[in-house]
Amino acid sequence: MAPFLWAAVFAYAAAGVLLLRERRIRTALTRQNASLTTELRARDGELRHLVSTRLPELADSLRNPAVTVSGPLYERELAGTEYARGLQSVMDMFTESAGRAGERADQSAKTTLRAMMRVVQSLANEQQVAISDMQERHDDPAVLADLLRIDHMNAQLGRRVQATAVLCGSWPGQQRSASALTDVVRGATSRIRDYLRVRLYAQMNMAVVSRAVEPVVLTLAELLDNAARHSQPNTSVEVNFQATHNGVAMMIDDAGVAMGAEELHQAARRLSGQQALDIHRLGDPPQVGFAVAGVLAARYGFTVSVDTQSPYGGVRAVVFLPMDLLTRIPAETGAPGAAPEQPAAREDRAGQTSSGLPKRRRMEVAAAVAPSPEPADRPARPAREIAAGMGAWQRGTRSGRAAPLDSEGKEPRA
Amino acid sequence: MTPRPRRALVRPHVVTGGRAHPTRNVFDLVTLVVAGSGGGPTAGLNPEQRRLLDLCRGGPLSVAEIAGHLDLPTSVTKVLLSDLVDGGHLSVRAPAAPSQLPSVPLLQEVLDGLRARL
Domains and CATH numbers, chain B: 12-117 (1.10.10)
SS3 content of chain B, % helix, strand, coil (to 5): 45, 10, 45
What confidence tens digit (pLDDT) does each residue in A26-61 have? 999 999 999 999 888 988 998 999 899 988 888 888
Full-model pTM: 0.70
| Distance from the A267 Cα atom to the nearest Cα atom in chain B, whole angstroms | 28
Per CATH, the number for A175-328 is 3.30.565.10
Q: Do A337 and B50 touch (CB under 8 A)?
A: yes
Is the pLDDT reported for residue A321 higher than 70? yes
Question: Which residue, among A252, A258, A256, has the nearest Cα to A304 in the 3D structure?
Answer: A252
Q: Are A156 and A192 in contact (CB under 8 A)?
A: yes
Could you state, in order of their start, the residue ranges of all structural domains in chain A? Answer: 2-79, 175-328, 350-413
What confidence tens digit (pLDDT) does each residue in A227-264 have? 999 999 999 999 999 999 999 999 999 998 888 888 88
Q: Do B10 and A148 touch (CB under 8 A)?
A: no
Instruction: Give the DSSP H/E element, type plus range, for residue A308.
Output: strand A303-309
Say what the pLDDT of residue A272 is: 86
Residues 11-50 on B with a CB inside 8 Å of A are: 11-14, 16-18, 20-22, 32, 39, 42, 46-47, 50
Share of chain A above pLDDT 70, in %: 78
How large is the average pLDDT for residues A214-236?
94
What confidence tens digit (pLDDT) does each residue in A382-410 have? 555 556 666 676 767 666 666 554 444 33
Q: What is the Cα–Cα distance from A381 to A375, expressed in whole angstroms?
A: 7
What confidence tens digit (pLDDT) does each residue in A272-306 have? 887 767 766 777 677 789 999 999 999 999 999 99
Q: ∠ CA(A136), CA(A330), CA(A149), 5° rounding?
A: 30
What confidence tens digit (pLDDT) does each residue in A69-119 have? 888 888 887 888 888 899 889 889 988 998 898 889 888 988 999 999 999
Would the ipTM clear 0.85, i.e. be above it? no
